[in-house]
Amino acid sequence: MKDKKILNLENKLTLCENQSTVNNLEKKLTLRENQSTVKNIEKNPTLRENQSTVKEGLEKRDISSNVAFYARLSQDVTLGKHSTVIFDSEITNYGGGYHSFDGIFICPRSGVYLFTTTILVHSGQWIRAFIVVNGSPVAESIVHSEGGYESGSTTVIVHLQNNDHVYVRTQDDSDWVLRASVTSFAGVLLF
């Protein structure tokens, strides 16, 4: 019996050593491929020029003009019909456009934005929620939970002008409980 166990352990040890060798060879191959790519860029004037252009663009980019936010509920919230969802836990707010005291994003810079929201409800509930721009719904999320928790999301890309207002609003007549931490709202200036 001991001989079989010892042989089995020796085989496992050999397999581990072989896997380690394979991992080391893969790392060396990746390193060689990367070195080869660098050499090709150095030899090719067009690639060198493109690399230089990208580097200059990144160096010139004014990060103070970036706009992005992410906020979520810090606790469960009960809302009625046409209620603005106030995402009170501000995680990120570059550009200062999101206002966690009223749940409204006020556009600090004209451009094309992406907005997304995720809504989580408890068992036996359903809700319709909209991403709203200046009072007009532009995207809708419908969540219906028959058992357990359910979530729904919606995303929209819109062109905004300076001082436009964007927020998430409920639609339905009944009071619904939105669950904390997963229920969130985010936006980012694309260009």
Taking residues 35-64, what's their average pLDDT? Answer: 58
Q: For residue 2, what pLDDT band results from cuts at 50, 70 and 90?
A: low
Looking at every residue in the chain, the average pLDDT score rounds to 79
Class of domain 64-189 (CATH, top level): mainly beta
* pLDDT of res. 90: 95
Phi-psi region of 99 (alpha: psi -120 to 50; beta: other; left: phi over 0): beta
Q: For residue 43, what pLDDT band results from cuts at 50, 70 and 90?
A: low
Phi–psi pair at 125, nearest 5 degrees: -115, 160
Q: For residue 179, what pLDDT band results from cuts at 50, 70 and 90?
A: confident
Cβ-based neighbours of 182, under 8 Å, separated by 6 or more: 72, 118, 120, 151
Contact 176, 170 (CB under 8 A): yes
d(CA 134, CA 166) in angstroms, rounded, equals 6
The residue assigned the tokens 């058992």 is 147
d(CA 8, CA 34) in angstroms, rounded, equals 39
d(CA 182, CA 72) in angstroms, rounded, equals 7
DSSP state of 84: B
